[in-house]
Protein backbone atom coordinates (compact mmCIF):
# COMPACT_ATOMS: atom_id res chain seq x y z
CA UNK A 1 0.00 0.00 0.00
CA UNK A 2 1.31 3.39 -0.99
CA UNK A 3 0.50 6.25 1.41
CA UNK A 4 0.97 9.80 0.15
CA UNK A 5 0.64 12.66 2.65
CA UNK A 6 0.12 16.13 1.22
CA UNK A 7 -0.29 19.47 2.90
CA UNK A 8 -3.94 20.28 2.45
CA UNK A 9 -7.22 19.52 0.70
CA UNK A 10 -6.25 21.34 -2.51
CA UNK A 11 -3.05 19.34 -2.88
CA UNK A 12 -4.97 16.14 -2.15
CA UNK A 13 -7.55 16.96 -4.83
CA UNK A 14 -4.83 17.81 -7.36
CA UNK A 15 -2.82 14.66 -6.61
CA UNK A 16 -5.94 12.50 -7.01
CA UNK A 17 -6.92 14.28 -10.23
CA UNK A 18 -3.44 13.71 -11.68
CA UNK A 19 -3.72 9.95 -11.02
CA UNK A 20 -7.15 9.75 -12.67
CA UNK A 21 -6.14 11.90 -15.66
CA UNK A 22 -3.06 9.76 -16.24
CA UNK A 23 -5.13 6.56 -16.09
CA UNK A 24 -7.75 7.97 -18.49
CA UNK A 25 -5.05 9.05 -20.97
CA UNK A 26 -3.30 5.69 -20.75
CA UNK A 27 -6.51 3.76 -21.35
CA UNK A 28 -9.26 5.73 -23.13
CA UNK A 29 -11.64 2.80 -22.46
CA UNK A 30 -11.00 2.73 -18.73
CA UNK A 31 -13.67 1.41 -16.39
CA UNK A 32 -13.65 4.01 -13.66
CA UNK A 33 -15.23 3.41 -10.27
CA UNK A 34 -16.36 6.68 -8.70
CA UNK A 35 -17.36 7.96 -5.27
CA UNK A 36 -19.35 10.86 -3.89
CA UNK A 37 -18.95 12.97 -0.75
CA UNK A 38 -17.36 16.28 0.17
CA UNK A 39 -13.86 14.85 -0.18
CA UNK A 40 -14.32 14.23 -3.90
CA UNK A 41 -15.61 17.72 -4.79
CA UNK A 42 -12.19 19.34 -5.24
CA UNK A 43 -11.02 16.40 -7.34
CA UNK A 44 -14.02 16.63 -9.68
CA UNK A 45 -13.39 20.38 -9.93
CA UNK A 46 -9.84 19.69 -11.13
CA UNK A 47 -11.01 17.03 -13.59
CA UNK A 48 -13.54 19.45 -15.10
CA UNK A 49 -10.93 22.20 -15.34
CA UNK A 50 -8.46 19.80 -16.97
CA UNK A 51 -11.10 18.67 -19.47
CA UNK A 52 -11.76 22.26 -20.50
CA UNK A 53 -8.08 23.21 -20.78
CA UNK A 54 -6.46 19.98 -22.04
CA UNK A 55 -9.42 18.22 -23.66
CA UNK A 56 -8.90 15.03 -21.68
CA UNK A 57 -11.64 12.86 -23.13
CA UNK A 58 -14.16 10.66 -21.32
CA UNK A 59 -15.91 9.68 -24.55
CA UNK A 60 -15.26 5.96 -24.15
CA UNK A 61 -14.77 5.83 -20.39
CA UNK A 62 -17.37 3.91 -18.40
CA UNK A 63 -18.20 5.18 -14.91
CA UNK A 64 -19.56 2.98 -12.13
CA UNK A 65 -20.61 4.64 -8.90
CA UNK A 66 -20.20 3.04 -5.51
CA UNK A 67 -23.56 3.75 -3.98
CA UNK A 68 -26.92 5.53 -3.95
CA UNK A 69 -29.54 6.39 -1.36
CA UNK A 70 -32.72 4.32 -1.30
CA UNK A 71 -36.06 6.05 -1.71
CA UNK A 72 -35.22 9.32 -3.43
CA UNK A 73 -36.28 9.73 -7.06
CA UNK A 74 -33.26 9.63 -9.37
CA UNK A 75 -33.33 13.33 -10.11
CA UNK A 76 -34.02 14.49 -6.56
CA UNK A 77 -31.53 17.18 -5.59
CA UNK A 78 -29.92 15.02 -2.89
CA UNK A 79 -29.28 11.80 -4.82
CA UNK A 80 -25.79 10.69 -5.73
CA UNK A 81 -27.07 10.56 -9.31
CA UNK A 82 -27.51 14.33 -9.12
CA UNK A 83 -24.27 14.85 -7.21
CA UNK A 84 -22.33 13.11 -9.95
CA UNK A 85 -24.09 14.87 -12.81
CA UNK A 86 -23.93 18.32 -11.22
CA UNK A 87 -20.29 18.05 -10.18
CA UNK A 88 -18.73 15.96 -12.92
CA UNK A 89 -20.63 14.16 -15.69
CA UNK A 90 -22.45 17.23 -17.03
CA UNK A 91 -19.20 19.16 -17.41
CA UNK A 92 -17.11 16.63 -19.32
CA UNK A 93 -17.84 14.45 -22.36
CA UNK A 94 -19.14 11.26 -20.74
CA UNK A 95 -21.82 9.47 -22.75
CA UNK A 96 -24.88 9.07 -20.53
CA UNK A 97 -25.07 5.42 -21.65
CA UNK A 98 -21.65 4.86 -20.11
CA UNK A 99 -22.65 6.14 -16.69
CA UNK A 100 -23.85 3.53 -14.19
CA UNK A 101 -25.14 4.44 -10.73
CA UNK A 102 -26.91 1.91 -8.49
CA UNK A 103 -30.70 2.25 -8.65
CA UNK A 104 -32.13 3.38 -5.32
CA UNK A 105 -35.66 4.05 -6.48
CA UNK A 106 -36.90 0.88 -8.10
CA UNK A 107 -39.71 -1.41 -6.98
CA UNK A 108 -37.22 -4.26 -7.45
CA UNK A 109 -34.26 -2.91 -5.51
CA UNK A 110 -32.82 -6.33 -4.77
CA UNK A 111 -32.98 -7.42 -8.41
CA UNK A 112 -31.42 -4.13 -9.53
CA UNK A 113 -28.60 -4.55 -6.99
CA UNK A 114 -27.88 -8.04 -8.35
CA UNK A 115 -27.87 -6.64 -11.89
CA UNK A 116 -25.39 -3.96 -10.83
CA UNK A 117 -23.10 -6.57 -9.30
CA UNK A 118 -23.22 -8.55 -12.55
CA UNK A 119 -22.50 -5.36 -14.50
CA UNK A 120 -19.27 -4.76 -12.58
CA UNK A 121 -18.30 -8.42 -12.95
CA UNK A 122 -18.78 -8.11 -16.71
CA UNK A 123 -16.99 -4.75 -16.80
CA UNK A 124 -14.14 -5.12 -14.30
CA UNK A 125 -13.24 -1.80 -12.71
CA UNK A 126 -9.72 -0.66 -13.55
CA UNK A 127 -9.48 2.15 -11.01
CA UNK A 128 -11.82 2.59 -8.05
CA UNK A 129 -11.96 5.89 -6.20
CA UNK A 130 -13.01 5.73 -2.54
CA UNK A 131 -13.79 8.23 0.19
CA UNK A 132 -13.86 7.27 3.85
CA UNK A 133 -16.62 7.48 6.42
CA UNK A 134 -15.77 8.83 9.88
CA UNK A 135 -16.53 5.31 11.17
CA UNK A 136 -14.28 3.67 8.59
CA UNK A 137 -16.97 2.82 6.05
CA UNK A 138 -16.23 2.59 2.34
CA UNK A 139 -19.15 3.00 -0.05
CA UNK A 140 -21.96 2.52 2.43
CA UNK A 141 -20.48 -0.64 3.94
CA UNK A 142 -20.81 0.09 7.63
CA UNK A 143 -18.75 -1.53 10.45
CA UNK A 144 -19.60 -5.22 10.79
CA UNK A 145 -20.12 -5.76 7.04
CA UNK A 146 -18.67 -9.06 5.81
CA UNK A 147 -15.68 -8.78 3.48
CA UNK A 148 -17.59 -11.22 1.22
CA UNK A 149 -20.44 -8.75 0.69
CA UNK A 150 -21.65 -7.90 -2.81
CA UNK A 151 -23.75 -5.01 -4.17
CA UNK A 152 -26.85 -4.95 -1.98
CA UNK A 153 -29.35 -2.90 -0.01
CA UNK A 154 -27.66 -1.77 3.21
CA UNK A 155 -28.74 0.05 6.37
CA UNK A 156 -26.98 3.22 7.45
CA UNK A 157 -25.92 3.73 11.04
CA UNK A 158 -27.32 6.65 13.06
CA UNK A 159 -23.85 8.20 12.98
CA UNK A 160 -23.67 8.07 9.15
CA UNK A 161 -27.17 9.51 8.85
CA UNK A 162 -26.16 12.36 11.15
CA UNK A 163 -22.83 13.02 9.40
CA UNK A 164 -24.45 12.97 5.94
CA UNK A 165 -27.32 15.24 7.01
CA UNK A 166 -25.04 18.19 6.22
CA UNK A 167 -25.76 17.52 2.55
CA UNK A 168 -29.53 17.95 3.20
CA UNK A 169 -29.53 21.54 4.49
CA UNK A 170 -32.90 22.41 6.03
CA UNK A 171 -34.21 18.92 5.11
CA UNK A 172 -32.25 16.76 7.53
CA UNK A 173 -35.34 14.55 8.04
CA UNK A 174 -35.00 13.43 4.40
CA UNK A 175 -31.69 11.58 4.85
CA UNK A 176 -32.57 7.99 3.92
CA UNK A 177 -31.71 5.20 6.36
CA UNK A 178 -30.96 2.75 3.57
CA UNK A 179 -28.77 2.74 0.49
CA UNK A 180 -27.64 0.46 -2.31
CA UNK A 181 -23.89 -0.03 -2.16
CA UNK A 182 -21.22 -2.04 -3.91
CA UNK A 183 -20.10 -4.64 -1.37
CA UNK A 184 -16.63 -5.06 0.04
CA UNK A 185 -15.84 -8.00 -2.26
CA UNK A 186 -17.13 -5.96 -5.23
CA UNK A 187 -14.79 -3.10 -4.32
CA UNK A 188 -11.82 -5.43 -3.81
CA UNK A 189 -12.19 -6.77 -7.38
CA UNK A 190 -11.03 -3.40 -8.77
CA UNK A 191 -7.54 -3.61 -10.25
CA UNK A 192 -6.38 -0.42 -8.55
CA UNK A 193 -7.89 1.47 -5.63
CA UNK A 194 -7.41 5.12 -4.75
CA UNK A 195 -8.58 6.14 -1.26
CA UNK A 196 -8.83 9.80 -0.23
CA UNK A 197 -9.18 11.15 3.29
CA UNK A 198 -9.13 14.78 4.30
CA UNK A 199 -9.58 16.60 7.58
CA UNK A 200 -9.18 15.84 11.26
CA UNK A 201 -12.55 14.03 11.45
CA UNK A 202 -10.97 11.16 9.49
CA UNK A 203 -7.75 11.03 11.53
CA UNK A 204 -8.85 8.30 13.96
CA UNK A 205 -10.19 6.00 11.23
CA UNK A 206 -6.98 6.56 9.26
CA UNK A 207 -4.78 5.66 12.22
CA UNK A 208 -6.85 2.54 12.98
CA UNK A 209 -6.65 1.57 9.29
CA UNK A 210 -2.95 2.13 8.74
CA UNK A 211 -1.66 1.03 12.13
CA UNK A 212 -4.37 -1.38 13.30
CA UNK A 213 -5.54 -4.89 12.40
CA UNK A 214 -7.65 -6.05 9.47
CA UNK A 215 -11.16 -6.31 10.92
CA UNK A 216 -14.77 -6.05 9.77
CA UNK A 217 -15.20 -3.51 12.60
CA UNK A 218 -13.31 -1.12 10.32
CA UNK A 219 -14.45 -1.79 6.74
CA UNK A 220 -11.62 0.24 5.15
CA UNK A 221 -9.10 -2.20 6.68
CA UNK A 222 -10.09 -4.69 3.95
CA UNK A 223 -7.91 -2.63 1.60
CA UNK A 224 -4.84 -4.10 3.28
CA UNK A 225 -5.67 -7.38 1.53
CA UNK A 226 -5.57 -5.70 -1.91
CA UNK A 227 -2.35 -5.66 -3.98
CA UNK A 228 -2.63 -2.16 -5.50
CA UNK A 229 -3.90 0.57 -3.18
CA UNK A 230 -2.86 4.21 -3.08
CA UNK A 231 -3.99 6.32 -0.11
CA UNK A 232 -3.81 10.11 -0.30
CA UNK A 233 -4.15 11.98 2.99
CA UNK A 234 -3.86 15.60 3.91
CA UNK A 235 -1.91 16.54 7.03
CA UNK A 236 -5.07 16.81 9.13
CA UNK A 237 -6.20 13.30 8.27
CA UNK A 238 -2.67 11.99 8.87
CA UNK A 239 -2.15 13.78 12.21
CA UNK A 240 -2.57 10.71 14.45
CA UNK A 241 -0.14 8.49 12.53
CA UNK A 242 2.85 7.57 14.64
CA UNK A 243 5.40 8.13 11.87
Q: Is 219 in the site for ligand GLP (CB under 6 A)?
A: no
**Chosen residue from 17, 43, 67, 94 binding ligand GLP by CB under 6 A:** 67
- Residue 235 among the catalytic residues: no
Among positions 141-180, residues that touch ligand GLP (CB under 6 A) are: 160, 164
CB of 36 to ligand GLP, least distance (A): 6
- Residue 67 among the catalytic residues: yes
**Chosen residue from 42, 139, 176, 219 binding ligand GLP by CB under 6 A:** 139
Nearest to ligand GLP of 56, 105 (CB atom): 105
Q: Which one from 27, 135, 226, 235 is the annotated catalytic residue?
A: 135
Nearest to ligand GLP of 56, 83 (CB atom): 83
CB of 38 to ligand GLP, least distance (A): 3
Q: Which one from 51, 85, 105, 137 is the annotated catalytic residue?
A: 137
Among positions 26-65, residues that touch ligand GLP (CB under 6 A) are: 35-39
CA atoms within 13 A on the CB side of 113: 22
CB of 57 to ligand GLP, least distance (A): 26
Q: Which residues are catalytic?
A: 67, 135, 137, 142
Which residues of this chain interact with ligand GLP, rule CB under 6 A? 35-39, 66-67, 131-133, 139-140, 160, 164
Amino acid sequence: MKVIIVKNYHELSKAAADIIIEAVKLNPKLNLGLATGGTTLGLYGYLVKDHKINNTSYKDIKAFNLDEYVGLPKNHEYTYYRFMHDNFFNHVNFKEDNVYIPDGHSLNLKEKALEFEQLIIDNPIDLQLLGLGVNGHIGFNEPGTSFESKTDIVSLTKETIKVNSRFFPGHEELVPNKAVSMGISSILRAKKILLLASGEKKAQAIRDFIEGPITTDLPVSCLKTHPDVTVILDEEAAQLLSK
